[in-house]
Structure 1
């Protein structure tokens, strides 16, 4: 479908659906607002693209230690960091993703390089790190990617050898980050990045880097980024389910709500989604205790974290 030149640039950002502790709640809300504002500036500067906007927003979240992505990642069962990320262009349906990549600060940018510089969609593990070295991306030590709190969580969970389901039910440390956007030409894009689940099995890959699960973007419907219990999200291909509901006529918000309810009903799954349609409609839905989110559109920023919240402020797009 042809892009619409009259679309109002819009971006939505999330910081993960989980039981965010009170001591980092304010920082989590501030972080997604900062990322959304930065992405919006890209959208409104010289006709910036949706793809550039979502990458910019997610890079900011990867740099914020409050979030489980990039420099806020967690440790797997072996005490290493394995990160996943995906980015997708709704105009071409091209996507790039990395899984179980180690020792880089911005997995989302490496995922974009997979999309733009290879014939592949996903590169995993050692291969992803070899690709990053070919590109000259700086390697960072594991200690630079992990907070003291993440190490404490690893020590606690490592003792009990809990399964992924038990870890998610504990509602700790599941703050995958993501962004969706539509630009002035009507092109949509999505991006999702995660630092994994504390003490997960080496090599475990969740929904985040899987096309149609952790994220999906199609100019014919819209863009989606997901967060939550990866195994449940993959079971219902959550991101693609949202866009399918939009293709059937549901609004962005209705599609988000319907898809989260479907995941709960079918596999007792918990998580959240953010959505933007090709016309710039937005949707935010989650069934966890909290999910920080922010929407910037037409000079206004809306945001929330607890169920039912929808605050609004004027946003000045200054450089």
Structure 2
């Protein structure tokens, strides 16, 4: 079967059509870049890392450079990656001043006996591994500063509503190659979070999961709810029970909405090469490439196709 590289740019409350267009352009770019590396290097992890790095470097997404700010106006990021063949996984949480957290998560998987490093420990490891450590505030953009100011104003005026939908969501990717799968996810968390908050993105089984006996999943949405239901693992268990990738993804996303009344999205690839895309928020940008065909969408029941040169 042909390799597949599928990405999402976050599920959330996205009412701005211009922003929706920018998100679509961003996921299309990430899918194409990741697929090119997947094919040329014949490597699941290289393809995933490239796709997620492209989104981390794009300010439109809530990851890396585009990360939202905590209550102190800082960027604290989470990321994780997992390989389905041997269940190897790595992640970082509450990490600062790293341009591409997904690359650090992969290094945790490959160079340590652990699956997760946090805060100062993750930064110390990054320095040891030769990662560039950015200056404080280097990842803080003017757009995110304005978002935090508006958030704090609404908080003071008690106008915030817990709809379970943020404007910006996590990014992620899943890949299929020669009957094997892998997954990766990266996020800046949610706007106005408490300092030191860990997200579902850093937790294997919640934000990211991959197993060659079922499939690979990357999730996005209301992270605290996703962690409570172990959404990524839940989807894989449904596939193990015989559900298709699409059925499993829809069942579990809707089950979380019904149980916890918060929204989520997920992208899934089964070990059969089946694709699953579902979200209970109003929008979720996604794209995938198979051969020279690029598929993409952001609205419910939207599926566009382009030929890639």
TM-score over 0.5 for the alignment?
yes
Q: How does 1:167-316 map to 2 (within 5 A)?
A: 169=163, 171-183=165-177, 185-316=178-309
Q: How does 1:49-60 map to 2 (within 5 A)?
A: 49-60=43-54
Equivalent residue in structure 2 for 1:83, among 77, 100, 108:
77
2: CA distance, partners of 1:292 / 1:56: 18
Task: Flag the 1:300–1:264 CA change in 2: closer, same or farther, 3 A.
Answer: same
* 1:119 matched residue in structure 2: 113
Give, in angstroms, the shift of residue 58 of structure 1.
0.1
Using structure 1 for the length normalisation, give the TM-score.
0.92
**Number of equivalent positions:** 305
- Structure 2 residues not aligned, in runs of 5+: none
Q: How does 1:121-136 map to 2 (within 5 A)?
A: 121-136=115-130
2:92 is paired with a residue whose SS is strand
2: CA distance, partners of 1:145 / 1:299: 35
- Structure 1 residues not aligned, in runs of 5+: 1-6
2: CA distance, partners of 1:125 / 1:40: 31
* 1:95 matched residue in structure 2: 89
2: CA distance, partners of 1:19 / 1:261: 17
Contact 2:165 2:262 in 1 (8 A): no
1:85-125 alpha-carbon deviations (Å, 9 max, x no partner): 00001111010000000001100000000000000000001
Q: How does 1:136-175 map to 2 (within 5 A)?
A: 136-159=130-153, 161=155, 169=163, 171-175=165-169
Contact 2:164 2:263 in 1 (8 A): no
